[in-house]
């Protein structure tokens, strides 16, 4: 249940109550694809870096270890030892991006597993069943992720099918939640808006899914190659047609800059692999932009990545030490960087919530963007 606490312009400050606790929004979900955060960060560590929601990938877990295995072990929360909210995606995105040869039909998608080539079928019902087995807090509807760019005709057909699939997802989720042996019988369902950069298709689709009274709504198919400006325009034009009294989730986005701009346009939920991916490349997020710890100038730098940062990495370890670990290919280096980066995102969301509450979001955003642009002091 979403409660809108206040607005500052179009920016929303809310809270979303689930069976696994209340999420303060706007929120950044921390990605743990295969029921584990990359970089050897444990769920115990997440408790110390302001993580509110963990996100796992349905496709990966279906393939390995298998959602039936996770169900037998009591669901994803027990499996990975995390009692706060978990959102699972529908598997659709991975089917369309990772899997081998695939065929899209009205009933769903036939494809080959990227692990062992095994033939798999996934449709709306299968996605809901898998997510019900995983027993996440929030399930995502099974949609088609259209290629970018796509023709108008392709997009319209795809979006129409995604709407029909959404109805089937909703029905199947209701059925699963009514079953005795379902682990989380209050599993929530978010619908996904598609339409690429065709704003009229986006808006029409938003209106149609808004009527379906789902627990939340996502914007899918963005950050797939279009410019940032185009993405912001689509968000700006579509969000007004999604229910204000429900959370809006911008899937797979993005940089700190993207998040600041999107919060301003009314987005509540985010997720992105950047904190981990940047860690792998030696990059740390700071209030003065990204810092590459592999840079020789940090060899003798005994300061924390960001002075004053309260993350477990900055509280203890120096730039010089982390640089050494990265150069020596010690796994600990990646862990320390990912920990800092996730904290940076989670902490920025906390700042964002405070700024909206205090009706100074625009000022906050400008100052933050200025700092990023200025670079290291």
Report if residue 331 touches a second copy, rule: CB under 8 A. yes
Segment contacting a second copy by CB under 8 A, of 7-15, 72-80, 172-180, 231-239 = 72-80
Q: Which is nearer to a second copy, 10 or 113 (CB)?
A: 113
Minimal CA–CA distance to 54: which of 87, 76, 77? 87
The number of residues that bind a second copy (CB under 8 A) is 43
Phi, psi (deg, nearest 5) at residue 51: -75, 130
What are the phi and psi torsion angles at 255 (to 5°)? Answer: -75, 165
Q: At what angle do helices 331-357 and 361-374 cross, to 10 degrees?
A: 150
| DSSP state, residue 287 | B
Task: Give yes or no for a contact between 243 and 212, defined as CB atoms under 8 angstroms apart.
Answer: no
Report in angstroms how near the CB of residue 320 gets to a second copy at its nearest: 6
* Site membership for a second copy, residue 165 (CB under 8 A): no
Q: Which one among 9, 74, 240, 375 touches a second copy, defined by CB under 8 A?
A: 74
45 is in an annotated binding site: no
Residue 1 as a binder of a second copy (CB under 8 A): the answer is: no
Q: Which two tokens stand for residue 22?
A: 């209340």
Say whether residue 317 binds a second copy (CB under 8 A): yes
Decide: 221 and 249 in contact? Cβ < 8 Å. no
* Three-class secondary structure of residue 20 per DSSP: coil
375 is in an annotated binding site: no
Per-residue binder mask for a second copy (CB under 8 A), 24-63, x = binder: ----------xxxxxxxxxxx---------------x---
Is 307 among the residues that bind a second copy (CB under 8 A)?
no
Nearer to a second copy, 6 or 300 (CB): 300
Task: Annotate 56-82 with DSSP letters as a single string.
Answer: E-HHHHHHTT-HHHHHHTT-HHHHHT-
Name the segment binding a second copy (CB under 8 A); options: 95-103, 164-172, 214-222, 331-339. 331-339
Rounded to the nearest 10°, the torsion over CA 41, 221, 83, 333 is 10
Question: Residue 262 contacts by C-beta under 8 Å, 6 or more apart in sequence?
Answer: 232, 235, 250, 253, 254, 270
Is residue 83 part of the annotated active site? The answer reads: no
Q: Does 64 bind a second copy (CB under 8 A)?
A: yes
Candidates 327, 347, 350, 371: give the one binding a second copy (CB under 8 A): 327
- Annotated catalytic residue: which of 8, 45, 67, 89? 89
Select the span of 90-98, 148-156, 247-255, 317-325 touching a second copy (CB under 8 A): 317-325
Query: What sign results for the dihedral spanned by CA atoms 249, 67, 107, 118?
Result: positive
For residue 178, give Cα distances in angstroms to 38, 74, 122: 35, 18, 22
200 is known as an active-site residue: no
Closest approach of a second copy to the CB of residue 328, in Å:
4
- Nearest partner of 27 among 310, 353, 266, judged by Cα: 353
For residues 40 and 104, which CB has a smaller minimum distance to a second copy in the complex? Answer: 40
324 lines the binding site for a second copy (CB under 8 A): yes
**Binding of residue 72 to a second copy (CB under 8 A):** yes
Binding-site residues from annotation for Zn(2+): 309, 311, 314, 340
**Residues contributing to the annotated binding site:** 89-93, 143, 194, 221, 309, 311, 314, 340
**Residues classed as catalytic:** 89, 271
Q: Which residues are annotated as a binding site for substrate?
A: 89-93, 143, 194, 221
């Amino acid at each position: 249940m979403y409660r809108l606490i206040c607005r500052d312009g179009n920016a929303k400050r809310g809270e979303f109550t689930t069976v696994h606790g209340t999420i303060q929004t706007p929120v950044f979900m921390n990605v743990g694809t295969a029921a584990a955060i990359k970089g050897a960060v444990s769920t115990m560590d997440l408790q110390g870096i302001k993580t509110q929601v963990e996100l796992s990938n349905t496709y990966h877990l279906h393939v390995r270890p298998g959602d039936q295995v996770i169900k037998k072990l009591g669901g994803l929360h027990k499996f990975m030892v995390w009692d706060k909210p978990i959102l699972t995606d529908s598997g659709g995105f991975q089917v369309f991006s990772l899997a081998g040869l695939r065929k899209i039909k009205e009933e769903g998608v036939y494809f080959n597993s990227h692990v062992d080539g095994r033939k798999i079928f996934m449709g709306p019902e299968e996605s809901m069943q898998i997510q019900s087995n995983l027993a996440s807090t929030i399930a995502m509807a099974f949609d088609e992720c259209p290629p970018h760019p796509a023709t108008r005709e392709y997009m319209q057909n795809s979006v129409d099918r995604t709407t029909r699939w959404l109805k089937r997802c909703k029905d199947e989720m209701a059925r699963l939640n009514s079953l005795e042996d379902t682990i989380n019988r209050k599993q929530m369902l978010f619908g996904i808006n598609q339409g690429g950069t065709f704003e009229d298709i986006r808006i029409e689709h938003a209106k149609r899914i808004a009527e379906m009274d789902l627990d939340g709504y996502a914007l899918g198919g963005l950050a797939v190659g279009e410019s940032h400006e185009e993405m912001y325009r689509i968000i700006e034009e579509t969000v007004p047609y999604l229910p204000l009294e429900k959370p809006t989730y911008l899937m797979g986005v993005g940089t700190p800059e993207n998040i600041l701009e999107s919060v301003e346009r009314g987005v509540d939920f985010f997720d992105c692999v950047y904190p981990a991916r940047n860690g792998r490349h030696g990059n740390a997020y700071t209030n003065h932009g990204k810092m590459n710890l592999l840079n020789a100038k940090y060899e003798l730098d005994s300061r924390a990545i960001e002075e004053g940062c309260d993350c477990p990495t900055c509280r203890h370890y120096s730039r010089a030490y982390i640089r050494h670990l990265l150069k020596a290919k010690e796994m600990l280096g990646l862990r320390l960087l990912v920990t800092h980066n996730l904290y940076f995102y989670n902490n920025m969301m906390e700042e964002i919530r405070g700024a909206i509450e205090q009706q100074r979001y625009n000022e906050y955003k400008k100052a933050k963007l200025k700092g990023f642009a200025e670079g290291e002091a």
